[in-house]
Amino acid sequence: MEKIAKQKLNVIVLVDCSKSMQGERIAQVNRALREIKTHLIEMQGENANVDFYVSVITFSTAAYFLNGERCKGVEDFDFKDIKGGGWSNLHLAYEKLGELLKKESKGGIMPDFGGVAPIVLLMTDGHPTKYPLTEEMAALKKLPWFRVALKYGIAIELNDERTKKVLREFVDGNGDVVDCYDAKLLERIIKIIVLTASKLKSTATSVQAGNTIVQQTQMQVQQALQVVEDWEW
Amino acid sequence: MRFRKNDTITIDEKERLVVEDFLGDGGQGEVYLVSRGGEKYALKVYKNEESADFRYNLKNNIDRGAPSEAFLWPKALLDFDDGKIGYLMDLRPKNYASFVSYLTGKNKFRSKQVLLRWCIELCTAFKRLHELGYSYQDLNDGSFFFDPDTGDLLICDNDNVTADKKNLGILGKMRYMAPEIVRGEQMPDMHSDRFSLAVILFMALCLGNPYEGERLKEYDIIDEDAEYEIFGEKPVFVYHKTDRSNRPIRGYHTSVLRRWAYIPLYVKEAFHRTFVDGLQDRENERTTELEWLKVLTKYRDELIACPYCGHEYIVGFSEKKKYDVCPLCGKETKKFCTLHIGRNAVVLDLGKKLYKNHVDKYSARYNQAVGIVVANKNNPALWGIKLMLPEGVEIKDGENNVKMVTGSGVVPIVSNLKIKFNENIIGEIR
Amino acid sequence: MENKDRTLGEGIARQELQLIFIIDNSGSMEGEKIGAVNNAIRDVMSMMPEVQEDTADATIKISALKFSDEAKWVYSEPQTVNEFKWKDLKSEGGTNLSSAYDELAKWLCKKEKGGKMPDIGGVAPILILMTDGMPTSYDWENHLAILKHKGWFKVALKYALAIGIDTDEAMDVLRKFTGNPETVLKVYTAEALRKVIKVIAVTASKVKSNSASAGYGGALGASNNDVAKNEIAEKLDDIQDVEW
């Protein structure tokens, strides 16, 4: 079938699956990711700009690519439930993320030319085992793909200022840190962020004078989050 | 979401709508399926409070009515208690597929003939819109729908249509916006509409964007700065005649490379004019709808189908090289008779139609058929033009034998036959 | 292209047929109206080369007079079909129809008298007035009376396009310009305009070439003009077809 050449839009999700995530929280994450797959496949057929590629990094004592796959086209992405248990070694996840955010010709997953800034979502419910993460963060910030990425951090039932600071550093103004006060809403929050950002970035809706896509995304995510309890997709 | 299933919306005690379903979120607003006294409509509700200008414009558009049937036009304005507004429109019939689904390869036009019919409908619709003094301002792939079998067109999202040179804040969508709009030098008007229309036509015919080529390689990331350069600051048409720096990328823009090769020269010229000369002189060098109609109907007139593999290609009257063989299967091109009529030459392939514009050059009905080429039931080797005219025509063969054919009769297709449609229009089959 | 000096006497000189648009771009034309006018003229211009090709015995020259607070010629000289480029008009200001009539009166004089009409020969010009019929200059009828004294105006084929008009009073302004209610048209799609121009251009030059004696001031005689008008009226009968 003849079709238009599309760009790659990478959606990268970093999931904390330390011991404290076990049970309800990780179940919410699993449900969210499964549904996201369905929605992204649908969205892929409805936009002429991008194809979605998904990467999931899980981190506890060690960091892994889910299924051992670094990146898959959303249609070929086979999801296996994530299990919880172990430490919260965020710095190892940063290393894995750094591996991805390089050009294909340099061993990463980003296209050699004409890529689209990826969407990166990091969620955690507790402070990282190693702290501070100064060097790891500095290493990431050296990567252009990291700098342009639209980044969201979700703090799950977390009142720990130190971890929130870690998330804010990670996002660095290009995205947002979102509080999830009630783990029951986690699934919805993940979906809101990934799907709103994906939709906006894929359909690149009409530009209103004076608004960039990033601003529009931030606005829409905020709007959706305000009514998170009623939100349906 | 503002409403839920089975909610009843009452406005001023006279309007009563029942929400039946949530249809989607279009950025600016939410769309619902509602019923109003037994009739079903789509309801769009704006999320933000819109300006008085915006409301006035919408009201004005509703009062003036749709420019043509192709527009899924707002029908009734609704003012909600909290100051937000919305409007009712007809539902999109089920036989329409989105233009985007064509681009992504999910749906396709039944044939190239049908694709061209859709393009002609598109130009006719925008011609009409502009004749009424409107500009659309936000042409992009998301607004258009097609019937894969007939090539009928539907244009949705008509709420940004305003009088030409009036603006309500919308700039358009990147990759479809004219460069001067991207650069912020102008606000959208008819001339930027014409640029975007050419982009949509290019996408329809070539399955690609006219400015995305080799130069993409200069950018690791296509962010807003890169887009500003590619589509605003220094756009280079991928098939620029002299600047070859931005040709489609082999192995990536495969469809464009394959399809452009078989686009007729005069259509290529029309694109080149808009995408190259039209960058400098936005008022006079952008192919107008009328000019598009001229070249696209010509393209349609020239189209033939390979009798062996069914591939549709042009005879190539004005091409540098003639198409002696089918570009797909390589078999020899079948010989066809041609009807020369006015400035047109219609290749008389089976199923080929004559249109109103062939027999009346002042007609704007480019898609109203007045004749179709059919094969004789008893002797399929004999072809003729089955007329669909109110009045008959006079025919005269090579030996000057004159005969009348009724408006629903069949004119035999034989060489040297002259067909007199009226005093001024006489066609000749060669 | 068509700049050959007619006095050089190289065979039969082609007649000059002037097509003059008189366009209201006052504030009341704002919005869809001026948009429609701009669009119509641009479309007509893209059809003119074809009309010129079919009109063998006259060179078509185009001029445009815009009027709001004051009237101003878009080009100071009549342009050939290929020279004339349209630049969108913006609408602002009052509707000084009087000033437009004055400018037109000056234009419709022989060159030797400071006008733009040929000193000898020439075909009756085509005047197309486009307005919504709401002049703000109340003395426009006086100025029209002066204009009506011009021979070239008398013989001109005058058409008016009513842009978004629905009152009789406004319609009256147009009828007075053309002097004939039948030549006030409400159709302004490009095809309709082209049909008007083409029928006029072809018919007018035909009538001219058939007439042995030149009438007023070397121009198309008034009686011949009637012939042309009748022929045109006949051909314009089905003009409503163009609309849908």
- Report d(CA C178, CA B89) in Å as an integer: 43
Q: Where in chain B is the domain with CATH 2.60.200?
A: 336-429
- Report d(CA B215, CA B222) in Å as an integer: 11
Counting one residue from chain A and one from chain B, the pairs whose CB atoms sit within 8 A come to 113
- Residue B68 distance to chain A (closest CA, Å): 24
| Contact (CB<8Å) C32/B132 | yes
- Residue B412 distance to chain A (closest CA, Å): 38
Q: Determine contact, residues A220/A211, Cβ cutoff 8 Å.
A: no
Does residue A91 fall inside a structural domain? Answer: yes
* Nearest Cα residue to B123 out of B66, B201, B55, B60: B201
Q: Where in chain B is the domain with CATH 3.30.200.20?
A: 8-89
CA distances from B366 to B299, B340, B420, C118 (A): 13, 17, 20, 41
Identity of the residue in B166, B189, B364 whose CB atom sits nearest the CB atom of C191: B364
| Partners of residue B171 in chain A, C-beta under 8 Å | 206-209
Tokens of A216: 């529009």
CA distances from B79 to B3, B49, B83, B167, C135 (A): 15, 11, 7, 22, 37
Does residue A30 fall inside a structural domain? Answer: yes
- Mutation test of the interface with chain B: which of C163, C191, C198, choosing the one with the most B Cβ atoms within 10 A? C191
Q: What is the largest CA-CA distance in chain B?
A: 79
| Partners of residue B256 in chain A, C-beta under 8 Å | 5
Structural domain including A206 reads 7-226
Query: Coil, strand or helix: which one is A154?
Result: strand
Domain edges within chain C: 13-242
What integer is the mean pLDDT of C162-186?
Answer: 87
For domain B336-429, the question of CATH label 2.60.200 is answered with yes
User: ipTM for the complex?
Assistant: 0.83
- Residue A49 distance to chain B (closest CA, Å): 9
Which pLDDT belongs to residue A86?
87
| Contact (CB<8Å) A206/B140 | yes
Give the chain B residue whose CA is nearest to the CA of C194: B362
Q: Any idea what the Cα angle at residue B228 is, between residues B227 and B230, rounded to 5°?
A: 60
- Report d(CA B45, CA B88) in Å as an integer: 9
- Residue A106 distance to chain B (closest CA, Å): 13
| Contact (CB<8Å) A7/B222 | yes
Hey, is the C-beta of C40 within 8 angstroms of any chain B C-beta? yes
Residue A25: which CATH number? 3.40.50.410
Taking the CB of residue A232, how many other CB atoms lie within 10 A of it? 8
CATH of B97-292, one of 1.10.10.60, 1.10.510.10, 3.90.1150.10, 1.10.1040.10: 1.10.510.10
pLDDT tens digits in sequence order for chain B, 430 residues long: 788 888 998 877 778 899 999 998 777 889 999 999 889 999 999 988 899 999 999 999 999 999 999 999 999 999 988 889 999 999 999 999 999 999 999 999 999 999 999 999 999 999 999 988 999 999 999 899 999 999 999 999 898 999 988 898 888 888 999 999 999 999 999 999 999 999 999 999 999 999 999 999 999 888 888 899 999 999 999 999 999 999 999 999 999 999 998 899 999 999 999 999 999 999 999 999 999 999 999 999 999 999 999 999 998 887 877 778 898 899 998 888 999 998 899 999 999 999 999 998 778 889 999 999 999 999 999 999 999 999 999 999 989 999 999 999 999 999 999 999 988 899 999 9
Q: Determine contact, residues C78/C18, Cβ cutoff 8 Å.
A: yes
Does residue A233 fall inside a structural domain? Answer: no
Superfamily of domain B8-89: Phosphorylase Kinase; domain 1 (3.30.200.20)
Which pLDDT belongs to residue C230?
62
- Mutation test of the interface with chain B: which of A113, A192, A212, A220, choosing the one with the most B Cβ atoms within 10 A? A113
Which pLDDT belongs to residue C223?
53
**Confidence band for C157, pLDDT divided at 50, 70 and 90:** confident
- Report d(CA B226, CA B208) in Å as an integer: 18
| Partners of residue A44 in chain B, C-beta under 8 Å | 104
DSSP code, position C98: H
Does residue A183 fall inside a structural domain? Answer: yes
Which pLDDT belongs to residue B335?
87
| Partners of residue B175 in chain A, C-beta under 8 Å | 49, 204
Strands B402-405 and B134-135 come out as unpaired
Chains touching C by CB (3 or more pairs below 8 Å): B
Which pLDDT belongs to residue C210?
41
Identity of the residue in A3, A116, A203 whose CB atom sits nearest the CB atom of B222: A116
Considering chain C, what percentage of its residues have pLDDT values greater than 70?
70
Hey, is the C-beta of B24 within 8 angstroms of any chain A C-beta? no
Identity of the residue in A3, A114, A208 whose CB atom sits nearest the CB atom of B105: A3
CATH architecture entry for C13-242: 3-Layer(aba) Sandwich (3.40)
